[in-house]
Every structure is written in structure tokens, then in C-alpha cells.
Amino acid sequence: MLFRSSLIQNPEDLKNVESLRDMQPGSPVRSHDLKPAFLVKRGQLVLVSMGEGRGFLVTVRAESQQDGRLGELIRLKNPESGRLLSAMVTGPNSAKGI
């Protein structure tokens, strides 16, 4: 029996996800065929924005210390100062400092 509610019908639902299995062209995509994709990978340089909405905006590049999916809190390291910071993943190779 096919449950229509699990079929992905809106292309927007395919953003920031990856497939759990190989799929044939033209085959239906179901929600259980997908998982959230890592948008930040350990060792990558990430553009981190801080201070937005507080009257200033600072952006720095920091090295990710772990993988992260959209909305996850990750640890990063400023390569110049060596300081560690935490930020929330907001997109591919980008995060917002907390």
C-alpha cells in the first residue's frame, strides 16, 4: 500500500537533504528516502556572522571542528587567534555566532 503523504511533492522539501539510497530517474521520492545533509564539514573554513541585529555585523572565517547540519550548533576555531567559538549552521559553509 502506498501512503501519498510520504511522497515529496514540493521541490523546496529537497533543499539541504541527501538520499539514503540510489534512486532510478523518474521514481517517486519519499520522505523516508532522505536525511538532512551536512552543510558544514569538519576542517572546512566557514563564514561566521556575529552581531546582526545589535547594531553591528562582523564576519570571520573559522575552521569547523565538527560536521553540522542546518540549525545545529557547532564548534569552530579562529585560525588567527586559536580561539574556539560556537555557532549555528545557517547554510552551506556558513554559520551565525551565538
| Chain mean position to CA 92 | 6
Does the reported pTM lie above 0.95? no
Q: Report strand pairing: 84-91 vs 73-77.
A: antiparallel
Those residues whose C-beta lies under 8 Å from the C-beta of residue 94, and which sit 6 or more positions away, are 39, 40, 46, 47, 48, 49
**Closest Cα partner for 46 from 95, 97, 79, 98?**
95
pLDDT at 53 (0 to 100): 76
Q: What whole-number distance in Å separates Cα of residue 19 and Cα of residue 14?
A: 10
pLDDT at 70 (0 to 100): 96
pLDDT at 1 (0 to 100): 43
pLDDT at 5 (0 to 100): 54
56 within 8 A of 48, measured Cβ to Cβ: no
pLDDT at 88 (0 to 100): 98
Grid-cell match 502506498, residue found: 2
The per-residue pLDDT string of the chain (98 residues; one tens digit each, 9 = 90 and over) reads: 455 558 888 888 889 999 999 989 988 889 888 999 999 999 999 999 998 778 889 999 999 999 999 999 999 999 999 999 999 999 999 999 98
